[in-house]
């Protein structure tokens, strides 16, 4: 099975209402009047006559190829093809609407449809207005919550990318299946094993979670105090400045989530201690003789996150994931 992320914005606005009301996945490329506005009147008339008689993917493909509706090309847009060919029953789909995340399961009877029908044209006209006529039926939507309750890998998947794309993370797949089972009250997805290890843990955290966790770690280990006002976009070299309460010296941190390398040489000019963390990459040019620059290992940070010492000093979202991980240890 596959975990998907679907953007809901189309040329007609946000189509969340179409998805929830009709229990579907919906997207654009609906051959709306806006899409054919630059065609000749005769050509537009022919297209409008034919689109109301689309009853299958093959009908849609035939019209697109004949009239070259999109970008003058005679093939179906890639995302529409993906919805037809690659989305399968039992797949899970993440969407986001007004800051709240939803998880949908593709049902056993799910079908690709073009929801503009001659026999129900007045009702389906809204799908044209919203540019949301391309749909997959039989989707069971479940409300999950805000960003603090979804894996970081899911949240970052909404930053950019195609309308419909895979989320390639085993940790996210296990969480999504486990969450669905919990919400419906039975083991629909069976044989799930939550692995409590650093790799899976960091897949669940957002980049901001990683930064917060490093700050909590340094606060616990060395009693450093975070200065929130120093967290600015203009200081890309470091995330923020902490103070050592013993001598008011500055402490700088750089945190990278994912397979991102950090070069210690970039920080040698800073007047103060520097702590570097990358969840999957490496810290290059680290000099063991330089006491001012240290590397925090993913293993040490994970161990701290799972400890009792971290329970009451980490953010709610981090604690959400540590509690989730602890289920694997019981």
d(CA 19, CA 55): 20
**Confidence band, pLDDT 50/70/90 cuts, at residue 7:** very high
d(CA 83, CA 111): 10
Q: Are residues 117 and 210 in the same domain?
A: no
pTM of the model: 0.87
- Model pLDDT for residues 218-269, shown as the tens digit of each residue: 999 999 999 999 988 778 899 999 999 999 999 999 999 999 999 999 999 9
Q: Are residues 233 and 179 in the same domain?
A: no
CA angle at 94 for the pair 91 and 96, rounded to the nearest 5°: 160
Q: Are residues 107 and 211 in the same domain?
A: no
Domain boundary, last residue among 134, 156, 184: 184
* pLDDT, greater one: 192 or 118: 192
pLDDT, average across residues 193-205: 91
Please name the helix (run of DSSP H) or strand (run of DSSP E) that holds residue 82, with its range, or none: helix 78-85
Q: Are residues 114 and 145 in the same domain?
A: yes
Q: Rounded to 5 degrees, what are φ and ψ at 258?
A: 105, -170
d(CA 87, CA 111): 10
Here the tokens at position 65 are: 């190829």
Domain-embedded: residue 155: yes
The predicted structure's pLDDT at residue 121: 67
Q: Are residues 270 and 135 in the same domain?
A: no
Where in the sequence is the domain holding 241, given as residue range(s)?
201-329
Distances in whole angstroms, Cα of residue 258 to Cα of each of 209, 210, 219, 315: 13, 10, 23, 20
* Structural domains of the chain, count: 2
Domain-embedded: residue 191: no
The contacts of residue 328 (CB under 8 Å, 6+ apart) are: 193, 194, 195, 196
Please name the helix (run of DSSP H) or strand (run of DSSP E) that holds residue 177, with its range, or none: helix 170-184
- Percent of the chain clearing pLDDT 90 (strictly above): 87
CB 126 within 8 A of CB 134: no
Here the tokens at position 20 are: 């929830």
Whether the pLDDT of residue 72 is over 90: the answer is: no
Q: Are residues 48 and 159 in the same domain?
A: yes
Domain-embedded: residue 233: yes
Domain-embedded: residue 194: no
Helix (H, G, I), strand (E, B) or coil at 10: strand
Counting every residue, how long is the chain?
330
Q: Are residues 133 and 235 in the same domain?
A: no
Q: Are residues 23 and 158 in the same domain?
A: yes
Q: Are residues 68 and 100 in the same domain?
A: yes
Q: Are residues 115 and 80 in the same domain?
A: yes
Angle between helices 207-222 and 298-305 (to 10 degrees): 80
231: domain CATH number? 3.40.1340
Helix, strand, coil percentages for the chain (3-state, nearest 5): 40, 20, 40
Q: Are residues 123 and 244 in the same domain?
A: no
* Weakest-pLDDT range from 63-77, 83-97, 99-113, 211-225: 63-77
The predicted structure's pLDDT at residue 160: 87
Alpha carbon distance, N-terminus to C-terminus of the chain: 27
Q: Are residues 284 and 171 in the same domain?
A: no
Domain boundary, last residue among 184, 215, 234: 184
pLDDT, average across residues 31-53: 94
The predicted structure's pLDDT at residue 73: 83
Domain-embedded: residue 46: yes
Domain-embedded: residue 196: no
């Amino acid at each position: 099975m596959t975990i998907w992320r679907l953007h809901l914005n189309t040329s007609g606005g946000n189509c969340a209402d179409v998805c929830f009301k009709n229990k579907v996945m919906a997207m654009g490329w609906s051959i709306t009047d806006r899409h054919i506005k630059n065609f000749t009147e005769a050509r537009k008339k022919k297209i409008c006559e034919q689109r109301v008689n689309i009853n299958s993917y093959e009908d849609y493909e035939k019209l697109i190829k004949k009239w070259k509706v999109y970008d003058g090309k005679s093939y179906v847009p890639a995302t529409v093809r993906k919805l037809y060919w690659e989305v399968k029953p039992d797949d899970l789909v993440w969407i986001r609407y007004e800051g709240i995340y939803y998880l949908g399961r593709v049902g056993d009877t799910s079908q690709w449809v073009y929801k503009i029908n001659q026999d129900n044209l007045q009702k389906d006209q809204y799908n044209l207005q919203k540019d949301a006529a391309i749909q997959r039926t039989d989707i069971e939507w479940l409300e999950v919550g805000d960003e603090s309750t979804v894996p970081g890998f899911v949240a970052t998947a909404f930053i950019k990318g195609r309308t419909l794309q895979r989320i390639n993370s085993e940790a996210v797949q296990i969480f999504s299946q486990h969450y669905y089972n919990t919400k419906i009250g039975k083991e629909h997805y069976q044989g799930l094993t939550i692995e409590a290890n650093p790799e899976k843990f960091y897949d669940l955290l957002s980049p901001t979670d990683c930064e917060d966790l490093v700050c909590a770690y340094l606060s616990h280990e060395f009693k450093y105090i975070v200065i929130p006002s120093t967290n600015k976009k203009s200081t890309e070299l470091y995330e923020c400045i902490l103070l050592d309460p013993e001598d008011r010296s500055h402490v700088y941190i750089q945190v990278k989530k994912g397979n991102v390398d950090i070069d210690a040489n970039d920080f040698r000019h800073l007047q103060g201690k520097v702590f570097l963390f990358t969840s999957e990459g490496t810290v290059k040019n680290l000099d063991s003789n330089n006491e001012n620059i240290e590397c925090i290992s993913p293993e040490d940070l994970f161990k701290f996150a799972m400890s009792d010492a971290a329970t009451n000093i980490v953010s709610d979202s981090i604690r959400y994931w540590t509690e989730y991980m602890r289920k694997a240890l019981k």
